Chains A and B, each alone.
Chain A
């Protein structure tokens, strides 16, 4: 069997994880105690679909010494819907649990479609919503789908809890506002506006691939400029997934929709800024192609939500 290989600062792939201590707390309080005690030396483990590879590659610096497995915390496994108010999803809820939830499919379609588009069946079985967000990849599927609902997350630490809108959560590829002693506890998705429909469109090379470009949209009353709400969010074209905040104002204008869509596409394209040289990110598709996908994708998803015609 292969074993540890390291020479002249070049790190090759390794079979073993680094030397770790493993904790499996049963309550949020226990987890927070551990996080407070070990801080930057600790790492939260949920589905571990991304963490295991990062640990093997010794990519996380400083290399974690403690692993806190939150998958046994019952409070983090709950999906709760407060009628007419909001949907609360625990951080350790898996993609598969989201896909199996009929209410999410009906009311929060973009989130459902984004979850159904993640990886393969093995990944969806283990991967969690909290992990997808906290991992903060520039190509994450769930953040844009959540952003169109103006979702926010609750972060907890020993000192208390705070709520952070997803649009303010990400700072860069794999960077976010969480402090070392904080735990992402739940994701809150406010009730969509009346009459709203949402969808998520993901371009990928093969069925289990990451996004080349991912577009989430929410549309309500498209024909009536005064009541019209159109929100667009994107992933895999900038350092972080983002909500096109200018779009909502833009679409309120009393101009032909096709003109407004062109303008929105222009703004989205101007946000291009994938971290260059990040292996596997800009490698999947060149800039020109991604810009092209933004154009046809935005048009297609809005055509689908406004006219009900699926073109892609």
Chain B
């Protein structure tokens, strides 16, 4: 067992992990952040995507020990003072989900795009979310939601 320190959604957490665990396992089962979904464990579906040090990563591909000192954001961290983030509002208004299983990953990818690429075109958005699989709806509503979120966050000109 190794003790690692993570800053999860702005809160410092100390967790004991074994080398055999991935970041996904630590977030979901040890810190009980159930918005981080576990699916393929192969880095194929992208459902376990989280934001680590302001970058999108698939948490199943990150060893827990490797994440020592990292700053992690999950969907739980998007809501501030009871107010939801623009990307969450956009997903609700544009119906960006159906069963909801992939939604946390898409919301985080969208959140990252809103923060880092306020001028992203539709093609760029599609390219960035290409690593995440949704098996219900197709991606139209999701892309619409992300575009709408950029507008909500940065105004019409953004």
Contact = CB atoms under 8 A, between A and B. Distances in A.
A49 interface: yes
Given A17-B19, A19-B20, A208-B131, A125 B55 contact: yes
Contacts of B63: 17, 22, 45, 48, 52, 67
Interface string A124-152: 01100000000000000000000000000
Contact of A208 (B41, B57, B60, B130): B130
Given A120-B46, A120-B130, A208-B130, A125 B19 contact: no
Nearest to B29: A1
Nearest to A17: B20
A113 interface: no
A16 B19 CA distance: 9
A1 B38 contact: yes
Contacts of A19: 19-20
Q: How large is the interface on A (under 10, 10 to 19, 20 to 34, 35 or more residues)?
A: 20 to 34
Nearest to A57: B42
A52 B56 contact: no
A15 B38 contact: yes
Given A15-B25, A19-B20, A122-B56, A52 B43 contact: yes
Contacts of A49: 43, 61
Interface in B14-47: 19-22, 25, 29, 38, 41-43, 46
A176 interface: no
Contacts of B127: 120-121, 207
Contacts of B76: none
A121 B131 contact: yes
A289 to B, nearest CB: 22
B57 A125 contact: yes
Interface in A48-91: 48-49, 52-53, 56, 67, 69
Interface string B114-130: 00000000000011101
B58 interface: yes
A91 B21 CA distance: 25
Contacts of B126: 207
A206 interface: yes
Contacts of A18: 20
Contact of A207 (B25, B55, B130): B130
B66 interface: yes
B19 A122 contact: no
A123 B41 contact: no
A69 B66 contact: yes
A67 B66 CA distance: 11
A15 B63 CA distance: 12
Contact of A21 (B19, B22, B46, B128): B19
Interface string B55-81: 111101111011000000000000000
14 contacts: A1-B29, A15-B38, A17-B21, A17-B22, A19-B20, A20-B19, A20-B20, A48-B62, A49-B61, A56-B41, A67-B19, A121-B127, A122-B56, A208-B130
**The 7 residue pairs across chains A and B that have the minimum distance between CB atoms:** A120-B131, A53-B42, A20-B19, A17-B20, A16-B20, A207-B130, A208-B130
Interface of A: 1, 13-22, 45, 48-49, 52-53, 56, 67, 69, 119-123, 125-126, 206-208
